[in-house]
Chain A
Amino acid sequence: MDKNLPVISCKSVWKIFGNNPEAYLKRMPAGHSFDEIRADGYIAGVKDVSIEVSRGEMLVIMGLSGSGKSTLVRCFSRLHDITGGTIEVEGQDIMSLSEKALIDLRRNKMGMVFQSFGLLPHRTVLENVAFPLQMRGQDKHACRDRALEVVKLVGLEGREDYFPRELSGGQQQRVGIARSLAIEPDIWFLDEPFSALDPLIRREMQDEFLRLQEMLGKTIVFITHDFDEALRLADRIAIMKDGAVEQCDTPDQIVMNPATEYVRKFTEDIDKSRVVHASILADQAKQGEGDAVSAHATIHDLASLLVGDVRDYIPVKDGDTLLGAMPRQKALEVLVGAD
């Protein structure tokens, strides 16, 4: 398989809820807004979304509740059948898959973590984790060994025989994560995995998640309504509103160049200096002088340097390549939060 091919690619995907939505979508005039669709008695869960996820990337889908982010991710795994458009997973149109082929895809390629965990209450931790393996008919010992391995990976060693209700929320979500990883999926969906946890545990789980991702390097679609979480984790962020994607870009770009007023409002209250990297401010036309800074450093990292320095332009290097020079004035504006 071509490494550069996007893992998930969707083109003008629609998901409309209501009575006979296909017919409605056909006769619906182009450019109908969310509210106009609602006035017709339909709900646009996903509205004309085109997005691509490339291999090894972490795409975070962000939006308030009801913005369609959960619906979109359920379209990727065909938990929802889409109303219009196409979704290809590794080059295969998933809407054309037979039930058997779809089950095979989920058994071997996809894993998903749910907001309220979705654990089976009658099974122990180990049995929950082994569940997807068992479903594809692996033999008992292989299931058990693999499940033990994943349980250890998420740090639940020694609790294999506990039942979900005997665990705390954070531990339950670890089971959910372990279960989704048991089959070694290529694509990993996480639907607001940490929203049901209290803030301290959430932070801890995010770190844990980043650790896992560093080890495993999966293609990830991560859903959250928490902008800080999105910034912390994402390679790219897609911001959704009323079923449509408002902007899909890197965190730096979203913060520095919001595409719409709605996106700008999201970025208003955050500390931009912690998000924006030197690379994004680098002006290719300029050379700068003196010691270069790393392209991967955030403005916050460079704070003391920026304040003490006197240069107008500071060179930015990614490794040994010179990207350009960063205007100090602009960097300082980001640092103090002036617009």
Chain B
Amino acid sequence: MAVLSTNALANSGTQVTATKVALWLACAAVLLTALQYAGLLPAWLHRLPEAWIPPFAVWLDAAFNFVRTDLGLEKLTRWFAEGPLQFMLDTTANLLYGKRRWPRFEQIPWSAIAASAAVLGYYLGGWRLAALAGGTFVWTALIGQWKDAMETMSVLVVAAPMAFVIGISLGIAAWKYAWVDRAIKPILSVLQTLPFFTYLLPAVIFFKVGPTAGAVATIIYAIPPMILMTTLGLKKVSPEVVEAGKMSGCTRWQMLRHVYVPAARTEILVGVNQVIMLCLAMVVLTAFIGMPGLGAKLLAMMGSFKLGRSFEIGVTIVLLAVTLDRLSKAWVVKLPEHFEKGTPWWQRHKFMLFGVAAFVFFTVLGQFVEWFAEIGRRQSFSQGKEIDTAIKTFLAYDIVKGTTEQIRYVLNVWVLNPFRDFLLSIPTFGFILFVVAGAVALGGKRPGIYAAVFFGLVALTGWWDRSVITLYSVISAVILATLIGLPIGILAARSETASRRVLLACDTAQTFPSFIYLIPAIMLFGITATSVVMSILIFAMVPLVRYTVEGLRGVPPEMTEAADMSGATKLQKLWNVQLPLALPTMAVGFNQAIMFAFFMVIIAAFIGTQDLGQELQKTLAGTDLGKNFVLGICVSLMALTFDMAIMTWAETKKKMLGL
């Protein structure tokens, strides 16, 4: 990276000094570390003395308490949670799994939902989507997870529409008023890097434990992409369409309602897709605050190391995720088509009629044949125990056991532990200087200053060692992911079909709720530090591979042709033409991998880590909002530092290459 950045920056005078500054900073950091090793560094330069650390948590707590009780915010939120929100959740819960509460509706038979989903799938994307959508629900019912799945869905169907409405409204406001945009932007970037545990505790405190808090956390978590996609879509509306609207004499409201929003349909629907996917991911994670459903089941099963059941629940979650993703994406590309004149009414609405017919048929059938309404535990086809035994026998084979243990040993003893100890041995100031040097080298002055401020703040919170351990997990996992992911991406990019397949796999993998990635890691490596790194590794590899393939495939053909005609070998072409041009895109992937890793490392706290995530998880049990926030902000600040430096680099580089 260092060589490349000097190349890229050598063009202008100011940038050269940036490299020089970075070098000086790095030298100072090395010097500090060397002094520490020689035992010459005074203790206060190694770690900030306790006395210097301001009680951020206490201050924040005081502030929260003021807002919560003195300003009466809690009353408002509790009213909302116990009133309208509870009502909506009860309604959906009633309909989906017959929760006996007011309003008492009968539970919808599973077969009716599966059939309607299949018809919807057929309408949006033909037989394959129909099979996927119908099949998912049939599987869920047959495997005996209908109730858990519906508990999850009952929150999802409330949270997703609310996140959509709030997101699109804020998006429109941000597009219309520059000051809203300016106010929202920094909040959004913090929200997007904030670990999800930090969403959960305030939700619990303000909105009670259980589905209401789960729904609120989910909504807040899913709003940012909706805002971004809405503003993006509205900004992209072609100026001629806008002028056509104005010349047609539209009032402002008519412009928005009839011109802007419909013309931005694609982006808004992409936002809807993201809202649904994020909602699903978060609903599963709200298991940590006692939200029942698939996530809670999975958490319990993994906790007691029941691999077979965990695997089945994992499959259900993945199927649900893929179904929701494919359905909503099919909706994005589904464009209206005209009917020939004189098409009868029933033919114009045949899908709707068919869906209603299927629904009614199975609902009635469910009244007479119990099996079509509900499949009891005993009747289900769950093979949990058998799969469990199978996996455990497989893992117990000498060769498998030998390999996993070998990997674990090598990784732990030779790589991970020494690396962690090394990072921890660097004095705080030295560490900050290193990070700043990196940020300056990559992005120049601004990211450098932000890096200094952000990491300085992290040091001041007093959670330095835990932060460094978090960072260590992230860095080691991302480096390993790069070592594995880059070759895969480069190989895949060589052929059209391979890249298409790999991209499809990445797309699908990205729809999985992050929680799922723990399952294979735990299966292979048990509850150990290696599984933490492994789960992050798998999760972070997805964007890396994806952007590598996209970057390499995106190189303009005339450039590779020029290289071919200059007589370059494949390796020369890759090294001199394709990689340099793909690098900015690959950097975006690298950045995303780091963001994903920061997200995953917190979830991995479940396995047992010694980092910020662990502390965050502990706060969930209490009401320690201040501490929760301080910890969350630490993660966010570290992630933002990387984000800013890498993205600035990628953008300047892109501009330089004229892409």
Contact = CB atoms under 8 A, between A and B. Distances in A.
A300 interface: no
A262 interface: no
Interface residues of B, number: 25
Interface stretch (B4-12, B204-212, B332-340): B332-340
A132 B249 contact: yes
Interface string B220-251: 00000000000000000010110111111111
Contacts of A161: 338-341
B244 A119 contact: yes
A27 B250 CA distance: 36
A118 interface: yes
B161 interface: no
A131 B341 CA distance: 21
A162 B258 contact: no
Interface in B239-276: 240-241, 243-251, 254, 258-259, 262-263, 265
Nearest to B242: A118
B265 A122 contact: yes
Contacts of B339: 161
Given A117-B240, A131-B258, A106 B247 contact: yes
A120 interface: yes
A79 B244 CA distance: 10
A55 to B, nearest CB: 20
B258 A120 contact: yes
B247 A111 contact: yes
Nearest to B241: A118
Interface string B576-609: 0000000000000000000000000000000000
A116 to B, nearest CB: 5
Given A120-B258, A131-B248, A135-B248, A74 B243 contact: yes
A135 B238 CA distance: 20
A208 B262 CA distance: 31
Contacts of A176: 244
Interface string A124-137: 10000001100110
A124 B336 CA distance: 9
A110 B247 contact: yes
Contacts of B338: 124, 161-163, 166
Nearest to A80: B243
A115 interface: yes
Interface in B182-221: none
Contacts of A189: 247
Contact of B254 (A77, A123, A124, A135): A135
A116 B240 contact: yes
A179 interface: yes
A116 B341 CA distance: 28
User: Which of B240, B249, B254, B335 has most chain A Cβ within 10 Å?
Assistant: B249
A122 B248 contact: no
A305 interface: no
A107 interface: yes
Contacts of A14: none
A166 B340 CA distance: 13
Contacts of B340: 161
Interface string A88-128: 00000000000000011011101110111111111110000
A79 B337 CA distance: 33
Contact of B248 (A124, A158, A179): A179
Interface string A218-231: 00000000000000
A123 B240 CA distance: 16
Contacts of A106: 246-249
Interface string A155-190: 000101111011000000000100110010000010
B241 A107 contact: no
A161 B348 CA distance: 13
A166 B335 CA distance: 11
B259 A120 contact: yes
A69 B491 CA distance: 52
Interface in B449-501: none
User: Which of A131, A163, A180 has most chain B Cβ within 10 Å?
Assistant: A131
Given A161-B339, A163-B338, A135 B258 contact: yes
B335 A163 contact: yes
B349 to A, nearest CB: 15
B248 A132 contact: yes
Contacts of A121: 262-263, 265
A162 B341 CA distance: 10
B263 A79 contact: no
Contacts of B245: 120
A103 B341 CA distance: 35
A135 B250 contact: yes
B249 A135 contact: yes
A103 B248 CA distance: 8
Nearest to B341: A161
A131 B247 CA distance: 11
Contacts of B254: 135
A79 B250 contact: no
A163 B249 contact: no
Contacts of B247: 77, 79, 106, 110-112, 132, 180, 189
Nearest to A105: B249
A177 to B, nearest CB: 12
Contact of B238 (A79, A118, A166, A180): A118
A112 B244 contact: yes
A183 B249 CA distance: 10
B335 A114 contact: no
Nearest to B252: A99
A114 B244 contact: yes
28 contacts: A106-B246, A106-B248, A115-B240, A118-B238, A118-B241, A118-B243, A119-B241, A120-B241, A120-B244, A120-B245, A120-B258, A120-B262, A122-B262, A122-B336, A124-B338, A131-B248, A131-B258, A132-B247, A132-B248, A135-B249, A135-B251, A135-B258, A161-B338, A163-B335, A165-B335, A176-B244, A183-B249, A189-B247
Given A114-B240, A119-B241, 10 more contacts: A77-B247, A108-B249, A115-B240, A118-B244, A123-B262, A135-B248, A135-B249, A161-B339, A176-B244, A179-B244
Interface of B: 238, 240-241, 243-251, 254, 258-259, 262-263, 265, 335-341
